Structure 1
């Protein structure tokens, strides 16, 4: 899908925000915001892609962040990241998240896309 939408087939590979948004749009009912500045861990949306370890060569890596809110007032919320980096030990690729451990600089918020045909996600009309 990425190659069909503009990524080079034989590197160097550069998967920018626009291409990410196109792929997400074509493969799912989800939408993605433009890059937003990272403010704090508490201000993160419940589902987002974090741009980490950005450097002056405009290289970075991206991880998926998910906050699970407590189902009841007395329940416990938690958050985690899914990190697909090949150099990360597999036991740490899905792990708890503490923003102080990461140099996050930008955020792509992931949301449910409005249904273009006007029907509710359940298919029962508006």
Structure 2
């Protein structure tokens, strides 16, 4: 079962994210890269599971649906919600796949990982950051704490799957 970190290693100069960034390889595998980031897997592992276990096409064209995202998260011991609308970072839960650069006309955007966690150096301090899997963003934008140019429009909340009891209920 996956565990979700609630604290990030931090210092007054900066912080170390709780998750290792997985970079997307193509223009359309951002959701897979975000899932790989959260699950601690490679992009190839996530894509293979999508194809082998969930019937995702091995080659395009394709769309990574909400159902596939939630199914892959569950495969890795995480629970994903349905897409929910957001108008600001404050609307996001502590861990989410946030959709940014959303175009309402085409109903398309791209996914990033959003995490809100306690800072290790100041227990009452909270660090909010996004991990952007895009291969085209600069190194300084791969993990960001400023969201002026990266506001979420939609999100899928993520939390750890609860333990199943001995009776299976």
- TM over 0.5: same fold? yes
Question: For 2:63 and 2:144, how far apart are their aligned partners in 1?
Answer: 26
How far is 1:45 from its partner?
Answer: 0.7
What residue is the counterpart of 1:43 in the other structure?
Answer: 91
- Bigger Rg, structure 1 or 2: 1
Bigger helix fraction: 2
Q: CA RMSD in A?
A: 2.1
Structure 1 unaligned blocks of 5 or more: 120-126
Q: Structure 1: which 4+ aligned runs deviate by more than 4 Å?
A: 70-74
Question: For 1:71 and 1:83, how far apart are their aligned partners in 2?
Answer: 23
Structure 2 unaligned blocks of 5 or more: 1-48
Instruction: Tell me the alpha carbon deviations over residues 68-95 of structure 1, each in whole angstroms, 9 at most, x when there is no partner.
Output: 1356987321111111111112332112
Corresponding residue SS for 1:7: coil
Corresponding residue SS for 1:81: strand
User: Which of the numbers 72, 76, 84 marks the counterpart of 1:23?
Assistant: 72
Aligned length: 116
User: Which of the numbers 87, 95, 107 marks the counterpart of 2:155?
Assistant: 107
